Amino acid sequence: MSDFDAFAALLDYPVYVVTAAGREPAGCLVGFAGQCSIRPSRFVVWISRANHTHAAALRADALAVHLLPRDHRLAEVFGGLSGTGKFPLVEWYHGPFGAPILAAAPAWFVGRVLDLAEWGDHTGLLLAPVAVHVPPGAAPLLCYRDVADVEPGQPA
């Protein structure tokens, strides 16, 4: 383990499920993401090039970013399975821009894709929020350490 790997192992931050519309909906568990501007509001999600969702995200006009409930169900489906068989396993509906919205997510937003950057083994997609759903009393969110036991559906 490198010194940086040891440093990164100490971090704990939210994980998200990012979904994209297309011929078939696509979605994946994302650990690299965060707000990157206050005014204007901007958020960036980093999607692994090895992930099936990567190609769909690059074609999408908008992406949905979901916070996850404390249980592992959505993390296991979107982090542990690869390909297109995830959506029949969860309740979802079409949201703004046709983005798939996960019904079990305690909060979500849909962001229009403004830009992208190819850095390392991930592509960063810069999002401008266009629709946000945060119900009163939203439940605590799922963090990286909470899903450390989920076996990835593809190599990292």
- Residue 18 pLDDT greater than 80, yes or no: yes
pTM: 0.90
C-alpha span between 111 and 8 (Å, rounded): 27
Arithmetic mean of pLDDT over the chain = 92
Q: Is 120 left (phi over 0), alpha (psi -120 to 50) or beta?
A: left
What is the per-residue pLDDT across 68-101, written as a single tens digit (0 to 9) for each? 988 889 999 999 998 778 999 999 999 999 999 9
Measured in whole angstroms, the distance separating CA 146 from the mean position of its chain's CA atoms is: 15
Closest listed residue to residue 102, CA positions, set 89, 91, 111: 91
Could you give the CA distance from residue 113 to residue 126 in angstroms, rounded to a whole number?
Answer: 6
Q: Residue 155 has what pLDDT?
A: 67
What is the model's pLDDT at position 145? 82
What pLDDT digit, counting tens, does each position of 37-68 carry?
Answer: 999 999 999 999 999 999 999 999 999 999 99
Chain segment 19-30, per-residue pLDDT in tens: 999 889 999 999
